[in-house]
Structure 1
Amino acid sequence: MTDQHVDREALSVLREVMEDGYPELLDTFLTDSESRLVELRKTADAKVLSEVAHSFKGSASNMGAVRLAELCQTLESEAKDKSPSEIAMLVTDISNEFADVRPVYEDERQHALAH
């Protein structure tokens, strides 16, 4: 996993700041991300897509998921101008990126719980 996907420094800072709350923060991020992906997949409404992408971008950014945040930013800003097939491709990209980074956060959670 290259650093263009996950900002390890951001995770280190979160780990220090959150301390015992860190595993719960990771849990929340994973759960929220799953539900946001479901939302993105099931709606064709540009306004809803943009809103969900905006909140997803915020949490991805806070959690150091750099590329995921970029993809969400693209969807947020371009949802109203894209065709349904282009939106579907963006949502697929977001979904694939989350699938790629998810193990990083699951590993982080395991390590945090073990300490």
Structure 2
Amino acid sequence: MSDNHLIDHEILSTLQDVMGDDFGLLIETYLSDSEGRLSAMQKALASGDAEALRCAAHSFKGSCSNVGATTLAAQCQLIEQAALNKQLIGLETSLVTLHSEFSQVRRQLAGYQ
């Protein structure tokens, strides 16, 4: 998938207009918090803690939605639902995809800082 489909640039543009000088801080915070959320998801999956995985995926989904990372939010929704149903087998692949797409989103958001 190309980078252009990972971010809703209209959402970012609106945020930039509304937040003004604080927009860069929002992006920095999103990027740094995302690392922790991805790590928490990985740890929860590794330990078989479906509830912790669900919570981390839900949290990451919300922050991704807020910055227009709609594809990441959709991936998180799938992981959250699987964790809710305690269907953890095969989610390793989903997390690898999530990490890969996050790397692309990070590169794109760097242009907004």
Of 77, 82, 99, which residue of structure 2 is paired with 1:73? Answer: 77
Share of identical aligned residues, percent?
A: 38
Report the Cα distance in structure 2 between the residues aligned to 1:87 and 1:48, rounded to whole angstroms: 14
Report the Cα distance in structure 2 between the residues aligned to 1:42 and 1:107, rounded to whole angstroms: 30
Report the Cα distance in structure 1 between the residues aligned to 2:97 and 2:87, rounded to whole angstroms: 15
For this pair of structures, how many residues does the alignment match? 107
Unaligned stretches of 5+ residues in structure 2 = none
Which residues of 2 match residues 76-115 of structure 1 at below 5 A?
76-79=80-83, 80-84=85-89, 86-109=90-113
Unaligned stretches of 5+ residues in structure 1 = 110-115
Which residues of 2 match residues 5-84 of structure 1 at below 5 A?
5-43=6-44, 44-79=48-83, 80-84=85-89
Report the Cα distance in structure 2 between the residues aligned to 1:108 and 1:83, rounded to whole angstroms: 35
Instruction: Name the Cα RMSD after superposition.
Output: 1.1
Report the Cα distance in structure 1 between the residues aligned to 2:56 and 2:71, rounded to whole angstroms: 17
Who is 1:112 aligned against? none
Give the letter aligned to residue 13 of structure 2.
Answer: S
